Amino acid sequence: MIPAELSTHLSETLNLDIKKSQSVSGGSINRAAKISTNRGDLFLKWNSNAPDDFFEKEADGLKRLGSAGTALRIPNVISSGKPGNDRPGYLLMEFVEEGRSGDSYEFGRNLSKMHQTKANQFGLEVDNYIGSLPQSNRRYDDWIDFFTEERIKPQIKMAVDSGKLNSGIFQNWERLSAKLNEIFPSAKPSLLHGDLWGGNYLFNSDGKAVLIDPAVYYGHPEMDLAFTKMFGGFSGDFYEGYESESPLAPGFSERVPIYNLYPLLVHLNLFGGHYTSQFNSILRKF
Contact positions toward ligand ADP, by CB under 6 A?
24, 26-30, 32, 43, 45, 75, 93-96, 199, 202, 212-213
Choice between 204 and 246, CB closer to ligand ADP: 204
Q: What is the dihedral of CA 109, 26, 133, 165, to 10 degrees?
A: -100
> Measured from the CB of residue 70, what is the shortest distance to ligand ADP in angstroms?
18
> Measured from the CB of residue 120, what is the shortest distance to ligand ADP in angstroms?
30
> Measured from the CB of residue 83, what is the shortest distance to ligand ADP in angstroms?
15
> Measured from the CB of residue 91, what is the shortest distance to ligand ADP in angstroms?
8
Cα 266 to Cα 279: distance, rounded to the nearest angstrom: 13
With H, G, I as helix, E, B as strand and everything else as coil, classify residue 130.
Answer: strand
With H, G, I as helix, E, B as strand and everything else as coil, classify residue 246.
Answer: coil
Answer for the pair 284, 172: CB distance below 8 angstroms, yes or no.
Answer: yes
> Measured from the CB of residue 57, what is the shortest distance to ligand ADP in angstroms?
12
- Which entry of 41, 195, 224, 237 is annotated as an active-site residue? 195
- Answer yes or no: 145 catalytic: no
Choice between 21 and 121, CB closer to ligand ADP: 21
Strand 18-23 relative to strand 40-47, pairing:
unpaired
Nearest one of 91, 75, 77 to 10, comparing CA atoms: 91
Type of residue found at 155:
Q
Type of residue found at 224:
D
Choice between 129 and 184, CB closer to ligand ADP: 129
Output the furthest CA–CA distance in the chain (Å, rounded).
59
Cα 279 to Cα 286: distance, rounded to the nearest angstrom: 12
Cα 73 to Cα 211: distance, rounded to the nearest angstrom: 6
With H, G, I as helix, E, B as strand and everything else as coil, classify residue 40.
Answer: strand
Nearest residue (beta carbon) to ligand ADP: 27
In the chain, DSSP assigns E strands to 18-23, 31-37, 40-47, 77-81, 89-94, 128-130, 133-135, 190-192, 201-203, 209-211, 217-219
> Measured from the CB of residue 177, what is the shortest distance to ligand ADP in angstroms?
30
Choice between 29 and 248, CB closer to ligand ADP: 29
Choice between 56 and 222, CB closer to ligand ADP: 56
Choice between 26 and 163, CB closer to ligand ADP: 26
Active-site residues: which are they? 195
